[in-house]
């Protein structure tokens, strides 16, 4: 499952990304995309810690949003456990954990992701958030975990570097911006889905493809859709 050659290439690209002035939400979305590609996952998600609670930032592909949102709303599940314990939580088969997280397990089963893992994004015992990775039935290997953890650690280091005393106010604004981005993107997806008679998943793919072709941020395009009446 783990593609070493792709990992090395991805690592090099990610390093170059992190030395440029990117927004926090862009870096975390990039993390989710890259770890999904490298490990051939069905998807992944990133959440940040805010006042001791887990808040979802991104989930790829969109059908995993419900699974990530469940943990945010109920503050229970593998990612919440990883955040508070600082330990990696490996779940090869969610059916084996129904007693542990009964409702979460049902949401995971419905989303078609029986195997998942949650990795804490932390440094020097300070928790910043979690990286969740999802797959079809899979026994997580040491290589899988090592690759995901290295990418997560790099993204965490970016957050730490951005949180120096001189930049603390800016970082807090960026984190709030990241949380607000989710709201406006969800609104844009709904608008495009209704206007084009598409599913929400199809609407998101249309928005993301348009953003890539025109080299604009998904957040900026979503703002134009929601507040300026732009249609694709």
- Higher model confidence: residue 30 or residue 89? 89
Domains annotated for the chain, with CATH where assigned, are 4-162 (3.30.450.40), 176-227 (1.10.10.10)
Question: What does the alpha-carbon distance between residue 129 and residue 113 come to, in Å, rounded to a whole number?
Answer: 21
Bridge partners, 130 (sequence order): 47, 120
Residue indicated by tokens 């939580």: 89
Write down the pLDDT at residue 168: 61
Phi, psi (degrees; rounded to nearest 5) at 39: -95, 5
Answer for the pair 11, 21: CB distance below 8 angstroms, yes or no: no
Answer for the pair 174, 32: CB distance below 8 angstroms, yes or no: no
Q: Is the pTM of this model over 0.75?
A: no
Write down the pLDDT at residue 207: 92
Question: What does the alpha-carbon distance between residue 136 and residue 169 come to, in Å, rounded to a whole number?
Answer: 41
Write down the pLDDT at residue 165: 43
- Tokens read off for 162: 């951005």
User: Is the predicted pLDDT of residue 166 greater than 50, yes or no?
Assistant: no
């Amino acid at each position: 499952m783990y593609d070493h050659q792709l990992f090395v290439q991805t690592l090099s690209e990610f390093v170059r990304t992190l030395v440029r002035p990117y927004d926090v939400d862009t870096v975390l979305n990039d993390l989710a995309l890259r770890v999904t590609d490298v490990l051939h996952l069905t998807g992944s998600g990133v959440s940040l810690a805010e006042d001791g609670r887990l808040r979802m930032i991104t989930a790829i592909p969109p059908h995993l949003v419900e699974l990530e949102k469940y943990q945010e709303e109920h503050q229970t599940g593998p990612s919440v456990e990883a955040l508070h314990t600082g330990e990696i939580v490996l779940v090869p088969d969610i059916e084996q954990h129904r007693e542990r997280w009964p409702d979460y397990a049902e949401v995971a089963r419905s989303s078609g992701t029986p195997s998942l893992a949650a990795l804490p994004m932390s440094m020097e015992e300070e928790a910043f958030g979690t990286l969740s990775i999802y797959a079809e039935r899979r026994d997580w290997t040491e290589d899988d975990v090592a690759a995901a953890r290295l990418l997560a650690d790099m993204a965490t280091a970016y957050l730490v570097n951005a949180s120096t005393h001189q930049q603390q106010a800016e970082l807090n604004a960026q984190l709030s911006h990241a949380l607000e981005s989710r709201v406006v993107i969800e609104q844009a997806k709904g608008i495009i889905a209704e206007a084009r008679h598409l599913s929400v998943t199809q609407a998101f793919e249309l928005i993301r493809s348009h953003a890539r072709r025109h080299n604009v941020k998904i957040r900026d395009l979503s703002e134009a859709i929601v507040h300026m009446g732009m249609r694709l």
